[in-house]
Structure 1
């Protein structure tokens, strides 16, 4: 079996007023808006006859959709397959009217949900603080590094990486005609498989919208706009009450040890 790329893309955002995103090979985390609609797009390493979407343990009622057709629907969940570039299959997964109960771990792929031919694992979180039309945001923790696939090909010209929609000169983080360029914590990398952008040592202030792509003097920019949400590092699970208890046990234990030692010496 093989784990395939979850890729974030934007051209499908018109359907049902939702938004879509490309993701990488990790079990990525996405935060969506409560009450909103959003899409994820998956590009598998290999296709199959049966397409599925499941949640949690992927057994029994956790299997949300399983179909040999082009489209499968169940409640507010929809999966659809189509052909992408070079004839590779693409699976679209959409969630509509998202609620807190949609939060959790998911798997999407081809084959059996228990032993799939190719699949992707991902986590969805639902937030009431995100605007309903915001779509999914790739969610990372402070201090992490995010490597994000931008476009699958380059026909010439310069590649760029911007904060926001890249409508102003100040939005540009990097613009280069080389295969690699770095500006502080930001970088652009160009491989045969396409363009990637990277942000190192993420901060909460990095949360927001970004744009990447390429431009030439003879044609319009080819670009992708995506969102990143950076959350705080988890705090220690040791609360103040537990700390006090540990200190009390330490001093009591130490006191008993010294008392027994004194009794032994004076016996």
Structure 2
């Protein structure tokens, strides 16, 4: 092969190599789109030598732009996590509770004594709530230690992202694409295409405040419903219960005493035969007995079938 042929073939090979590298870089470049409050989790393949420095930094390459770095296999500081899986040979990077200010370009990589590696990507952060509507009712009241369930009247598909956040919503209390999900004291349950429920359990006074439940969509606006929760103190509730019980016991005791008093009075009543002038009537027991005997004889005589009123039995037998 002459020099010209060799040179031509070399340039063809070199151009193909550059084209392949360009395709590789293009295929590796990525843009990640997340919502406020979500976590970003990415992983990149690196065969990292033992003891190498793993890092996550903003792409400006300034020293102060380094967000997290470690010579170990895992580190978690503030909202950032860097982790190396030696089995999978992947570097994992995490940014928790995303904010709008996190929407920049990043570099994940490693630095070793004999080699380096890096990967760049861009992050976009969408508004958590493009539209906010007021809930009905606006304020929910509950006692400390109890539960509160709020109906979120929002249009959604069963597999849409459903979430609950508080105040400025810089972090999810719970979020899920499932129809039912539980996290710590929080629960989300899909109801229909027009609503889902969120429940907060084991309430404390510190849970009082403003909340938003919402629906996140890959395309279209994210809609949120705003409401407030007021939690009354447990000591006050216990006092109310104690007073109520005490009053109930007092009323029961009073009723028993009243019944005893009435019974005692009625047991000492004397029945006296009085006359028209209200004075006790006196009569001889023997005379009264005789009069009663005469009345009894007269009754039996009236019922005698042999008396002159002989039609009595006929009338009674009809």
TM-score > 0.5 by shorter chain: no
Q: TM-score, normalised by structure 2?
A: 0.32
Which has the larger share of helix? 2
Which has the larger share of strand? 1
Q: TM-score, normalised by structure 1?
A: 0.38
Larger radius of gyration: 2
Of structures 1 and 2, the one with the larger relative CO (CA 8 A, separation 6+) is 1
